[in-house]
Amino acid sequence: MRTSIVRIAISAALFSLLTLFADCRDKKNPAAPTGYNLDATPPRFVRENFIDASKMARISKFRSAVGGDYSDGAENCRSMKHYFEPRDDFDWSTLSLHSPVPGKVTKILGEPVGKQVSIQSLEYPDFEFHLFHVEPLDSLSVGMILAAGQRIGTHAGRQTASEIAVSVNSTKGWRLISYFDVITDSLFRSYGLCGVNLPRDFIIDREARDADPLACDGSGFTTTGHLENWIVMNCHWDVDSWGIPRFVDVNYIDFERIAKISKFRSSVGHDYSDDFEHCRSMKHYFWLDGDSGWENARLYAPVNGTVSWRFEEWLGTQVWIRSDDYPDFQFGIFHVVLQDSTLSEGRAVTAGQWLGTHFGTRTYSDIAVTVTTPGGRKLISYFDVMSDALFQRYQARGLSNRNDVIISMQERDTWPLTCTGETFVSGTGTLEDWVTLR
Contact indicator for 295, 337 with CB cutoff of 8 Å: yes
Q: What is the pLDDT of residue 28?
A: 54
**C-alpha distances in Å from residue 78, one per residue of 41, 176, 231, 253:** 22, 11, 17, 55
Q: Alpha-carbon distance 383 to 406, whole Å?
A: 8
**Of 395, 383, 396, residue with least CA distance to 265:** 383
Q: Does domain 53-235 have CATH number 3.40.640.10?
A: no
Q: Which CATH code is given to the segment(s) 241-436?
A: 2.70.70.10
Q: What is the pLDDT of residue 32?
A: 73
Write out the DSSP string of 232-285: E------HHHH-----B-S-SB-GGGEEEEEPBTBSSSS-B--SS--SSB-SEE
Q: Alpha-carbon distance 45 to 123, whole Å?
A: 8
Q: Alpha-carbon distance 423 to 430, whole Å?
A: 16
**Of 240, 247, 209, 248, residue with least CA distance to 226:** 209
Q: What is the pLDDT of residue 88?
A: 85
Contact indicator for 334, 316 with CB cutoff of 8 Å: yes
Contact indicator for 371, 406 with CB cutoff of 8 Å: no
Q: What is the pLDDT of residue 30?
A: 67
Domain locations along the chain:
53-235, 241-436
Q: Alpha-carbon distance 401 to 392, whole Å?
A: 9
Q: Alpha-carbon distance 180 to 234, whole Å?
A: 18
**Of 182, 165, 233, 176, residue with least CA distance to 206:** 176
- How many Cβ atoms from other residues are within 10 Å of residue 388's Cβ? 9
Write out the DSSP string of 373-424: ETTEEEEE-GGGSB-HHHHHHHHTTT--SGGGGB--HHHHHHS--EEETTEE
Q: What is the pLDDT of residue 54?
A: 87
Q: Alpha-carbon distance 430 to 45, whole Å?
A: 54
Per-residue pLDDT of the chain in tens (438 residues, 90 and over written 9): 434 433 434 344 433 433 333 333 344 566 777 899 999 899 999 999 999 998 899 999 999 999 999 999 999 999 999 999 998 877 899 999 999 999 999 999 999 999 999 999 999 999 999 999 999 999 999 999 999 999 999 999 999 999 999 999 999 999 999 999 999 999 998 898 888 999 999 999 999 999 999 999 999 999 999 999 999 998 888 898 789 999 999 999 999 999 999 999 999 999 999 999 999 999 999 999 999 999 999 999 999 999 999 999 999 999 999 999 899 999 999 999 999 999 999 999 999 999 999 999 999 999 999 999 988 999 999 999 999 999 999 999 999 999 999 999 999 999 999 999 999 999 998 999 999 999
Q: Alpha-carbon distance 255 to 352, whole Å?
A: 12
**C-alpha distances in Å from residue 167, one per residue of 48, 112, 129, 265:** 18, 22, 7, 53
**Of 38, 77, 32, residue with least CA distance to 174:** 38
Decide: residue 116, CB within 10 A, 0-12 exposed, 13-18 middle, 19+ buried. middle
Q: Alpha-carbon distance 256 to 289, whole Å?
A: 9
Burial letters 336-370, b for 16+ CB under 10 A, else e:
bbbeeeebeeeeebebebebbbbbbeebbbbbbbb
